[in-house]
Amino acid sequence: MKSFLIGDNEDTLVGMRLAGIDGVVARKREDVLKELQKATENKEVGLILLTENVFDNVKEEVLKIKLKRNIPLIVTIPDRHGMREKDFITKYIRESIGIKI
């Protein structure tokens, strides 16, 4: 199975291509939805990577796909403009299970 990236900038796409992952750059919501549909219909794609900005544009549609289908797996990744805070993981653990680390 192949991996496929839908990103909003060229840098992330170039980096993924160096790792052997194909993909596209889509900045507009309509373009992202079109590429997402193509990727989910492609039987060879087992993993779809979305940058955080792309995911934010189509969050509801992605959640619907995740509820209906097991494959492809859809994962959100940070890009160089990452929106998460530096201590994201420790805050996530604290909020999830109540342990302060």
* Mean per-residue pLDDT, 41-60: 93
| Residue of higher predicted confidence among 30 and 89 | 30
Query: What is the average pLDDT value for the chain, to the nearest integer?
Result: 86
Would you say the pTM of this structure is higher than 0.95? no
Q: Alpha-carbon torsion 49, 53, 56, 58, what sign? A: negative
The two beta strands, 45-51 and 22-25, are unpaired
- How far apart, in whole angstroms, are the C-alpha atoms of residue 85 and residue 29? 25
Per-residue pLDDT tens over the stretch 60-76: 999 999 999 889 999 98
- pLDDT greater than 80 at residue 81: no
Going by pLDDT thresholds of 50, 70 and 90, the confidence category of residue 77 is confident
Beta carbons of 29 and 41 less than 8 angstroms apart: no
Sequence-separated (6 or more) residues with CB below 8 Å from residue 57: 29, 32
**How much is the pLDDT for 87?**
65
- pLDDT greater than 80 at residue 56: yes
